[in-house]
Amino acid sequence: MAGPFGATSTTDEVLAGVDLSGKRILVTGVSAGLGVETARALAAHGAQVVGAARDLAKAHAATEEVRAQAANGGGLELVVLDLANLASVRACADTLKADGRPFDLVIANAGVMACPKGQTADGFETQFGTNHLGHFVLVNRIAALMKSGARLVNLASAGHRFADVDLEDPNFEHTPYGEFVAYGRSKTANILFAVEFDRRHKARGVRATAVHPGGIQTELGRHMTPEVMQQLMDNINTANAAANAPAFTFKTIPQGAATSVWSGVVAPAEEVGGLYCEDCHVAERVEDETLRGGVRAYALDPDRAKALWAKSEEMVGERF
């Protein structure tokens, strides 16, 4: 039963009565914000959580509450992962494969948002390289560890509506760079990756979905000035007013992480597989620019998803 959950539901409400004892779950980005809360909620319900982070010292300090609230055999271990460096991504995957224990759920939570133009260690545009390509390599390298019944949850965003992926110029070599255009491309890529991963793995019982956590004040917005944040809020509220929708309000971190755990362990797999979820439900496809909710059709296009997969393999130099 998926439950009567919505935009204000919290992780603890979504997981009420759920026993995750014996489940092993990978969560990336456990040094702050949604990653920490996601790990806390899962461990508190008995899951063995593997938390991945670039800075292990920061992650260890940030996850004290995760360890304190772990119950019913739940716990937390940490692994090093720098998504902006494919050598680190591959080393992390090798460590997990050498360990050999399978996963019931992988939550690709880590990411960057609206940062100045830059490059990853491998020369990719920072947001596409970190948010999409890093997770693309990690997840595909450990896919064999995801047993039948396992799920992949990619954290995308309503920001996918800023831009479709550009398979001709993913690194902005010929296109003027825009922080939110780049963010939009990377978030659309997160959704398309889930669509194609789901298609490739559902026959063996492994499903994938993408989620929008909602607007939350976390470290993700550290590159945004107060002026930029206010402009974004004004734009959203103008659109909301035009659509007779309520004014925008930020979610709490437990509310923001709720859709990740809902789609990962509560919602029926066949209802969320290959789709995009928000506010603890499957989002509708919308093209109306005045509506804040919903998912753009290009982000769920199966042919676009296959093309992105091929382009991603070409960029990282690996076939999966």
Q: What phi and psi, each to the nearest 5 degrees, are found at residue 48?
A: -90, 110
Q: Does residue 138 contact residue 28 with C-beta atoms inside 8 Å?
A: yes
Scored b (16 or more CB within 10 A) or e, 116-143 reads eeeebebebbbbbbbbbbbbbbbbbbbb
Q: Which of 177, 183, 276, 298 is catalytic?
A: 183
Q: Identify the burial level of 236 via C-beta atoms within 10 angstroms of its C-beta, where 0-12 means exposed, 13-18 middle and 19 or more buried.
A: middle
DSSP state of 216: B
54 phi and psi, to 5 degrees? -70, -40
Coil, helix or strand at residue 133: helix
Listed in sequence order, the residues at least 6 apart from 284 whose beta carbon sits closer than 8 Å to its beta carbon are 293, 294, 295
Strand segments (E) across 81-167? 103-108, 146-155
CA proximity to 317, closest of 178, 192, 141? 141
Tell me the C-alpha distance between 272 and 68, whole Å.
32
Q: Is the dihedral of CA 68, 9, 79, 115 positive or negative?
A: negative
Taking the C-alpha atoms of residue 307 and residue 309, their distance in angstroms, rounded to an integer, is: 5
Cα-based distances in Å from 193 to 78, 104, 149, 301:
25, 19, 19, 11
Q: Known catalytic residue: 183?
A: yes
State the Cα–Cα distance between residues 26 and 146, nearest whole angstrom: 10
User: Which of 38, 41, 69, 71 lies closest to 52, judged by CA?
Assistant: 38
Q: What residues are annotated to the active site?
A: 183
